[in-house]
Amino acid sequence: MKGQLNKMSKILFSASVIGWIIIGVLLFNFVNVDASNSEDANIYKKLKLFSEALFNVRQNYVEELNVDDLIDSAIKGMLDEVDPHTYYFTPEEFDKFSTDTKGEFGGLGISIDKKGEYITVVAPIEGTPAYRMGIHAGDKISKVDGESVVGVSTDESISKMRGEPGTKVLITIIRPGVKEELEFEIIREIIKIHSIPYSFKLDNGIGYMRIRQFNANTTSDMREKLDELEEEGIRGLIIDLRFNPGGLLREAINTVNEFIGKGKLVVFTKGRAPQTNMEYLTKYNRIREGYPVIVLINSGSASASEIFAGSLQDWDRGLVVGQTSFGKGSVQRLFPLSDGNGIKITTAKYYIKSGRCIHKDLNDKLLKDERLKNGDISKEEIKEMQEEAEEKSHENVYYTNMGREVYGGGGITPDIEIEQSLLTDMGVDLRRKNIFFNYSVDYLIDNEKNVTLNFQASQNDINGLLEFAKAEGIEFEQVEADSILSWIKNELTSNIIGRKFGEVERYKIVLEEDTQLQKTMEIFEKYSTLEEMFEYAEETKQIKKEEE
């Protein structure tokens, strides 16, 4: 017995020594402990305390614990004390994050969404393996390599379908109108994530470009799309950045370059460490001229999209319309860690050419607010806090290159505010339960020959949809359906068109009921130059001030 105790003591002593060696290495490499520095000495003491706590929990807890999980949780707990944008990645998370920003991956080429228990194909991407193999919109994926994905999350399903280019994957699908399940053996290829999914000339001669995010392909995609639009002879351009979460800084700078030319300051950063204080100028001898640009933003436009919108505003190269952007103006840097882990750390804040900081501190407070996590704060309270923050930001006045007033301290404030019309409760239910998508898939099975690009849903089609909605458990009064009849018709038409002719044609029809876009187009009808638009924006601001 005594021998066993001595053996255990030696093991515990060895483990303790190893632990202190690790801490010593960490301190030497990363903290650079200076005994005369009280802060460094305190860090050393706290690391000792952490080591003791970890050792005791591991040795004495009632059940066996996974040390990796304990340390991961400890790191995440530490980062909970800073801003919500500083984040610790497991190897899988770090790899996925890196893939998303690179803008390409090995996959099949399908846009998917979870509809009920099934992962459903929203649209195959043209030119990809899935498209060539004949995967259709509305196909329900039941198995991947023989393993069921029914009830599995979208992220998990994506991870099963992605893989090394050149490898095979077996997809089993359930297709509406086909009794037997279908199997497709598909060879994965490099799939580029298109940051600009929609770009076309509208009927009134205005070009429209939707930028979904700023990834590694955005600048090259934009140049290609702008060349096409300019060849078609556009008389103006709308760049839609609504719900664009941002992405790569260099891509924001390079896309701004297309409109302001070479050697212009776009953004600068300020941080605690000297190396984080940097200026970013455009570097390409390129500039697009000859037509006015309007940038459309909303509260979901963040980070790189705010830099783009604010920079065109600062250089007087674009009119910004819509709603005040999110206000994510902090700089994060990725640091690879051992064993494939990683950490994203906020190192500085963004300031655009006029000198204004994009970052809205209120967002960080809300994201960290326990009341928000627990649902203990009302929408009214949040809206009141946001309005107060926006009002304060208007006290910080800056000036564009031509001397126009702009505001700083919390997102990009548009030159002209345009509200978006809200969905009714019935409209929300119809979308939430995928009524339009599911009905249009069934509709096309019986009516595909009658659907052309000029197709418009009839009253009989709408009645059929409403009956389908009732069968799916959506309760509504006829008067409520009548009040949104135009919207229902548009949604149904766009979904049916989209099932047959693709996502771009569907999207064109959706824009017809887009309040913000339609009002933006009215500006082009009234004014043909940016100077005229700026004057109109100033008049609008003055009228608003007088009303207040």
| Enzyme catalytic residues | 303, 314, 328
CA angle 515, 520, 526 (to 5 degrees): 130
Q: Using the CB atoms, write b or e for 287-318: b if 16+ within 10 Å.
A: ebeebbbbbbbbbebbbbbbbbbbbbbbbbbb
Structure token digits, residue 228: 């096409």
Per the DSSP assignment, residues forming a β-bridge with 334 are: 344
Q: How far is CA 506 from the centre of its chain?
A: 21
Q: How far is CA 488 from the centre of its chain?
A: 27
User: How many Cα atoms within 13 Å fall on the side-chain side of residue 320?
Assistant: 30
The gap between the terminal CA atoms of the chain, to the nearest Å, is 86
Rounded to whole angstroms, what are the CA distances from 72 to 29, 296, 335, 370? 20, 41, 16, 21
CA separation for the pair 118, 140 (Å, rounded): 6
Rounded to whole angstroms, what are the CA distances from 59 to 52, 55, 66, 548? 11, 6, 11, 66
For the chain, the helix, strand and coil percentages under 3-state DSSP, each to the nearest 5: 50, 20, 35
Question: Which burial class, exposed, middle or buried, applies to 54 when counting CB atoms under 10 A from its CB (0-12, 13-18, 19+)?
Answer: middle
Phi and psi, residue 23, nearest 5°: -60, -40
* Bridge-based pairing state of the strands 342-352 and 330-336: antiparallel
Which residue is it, tokens 């109109």?
536
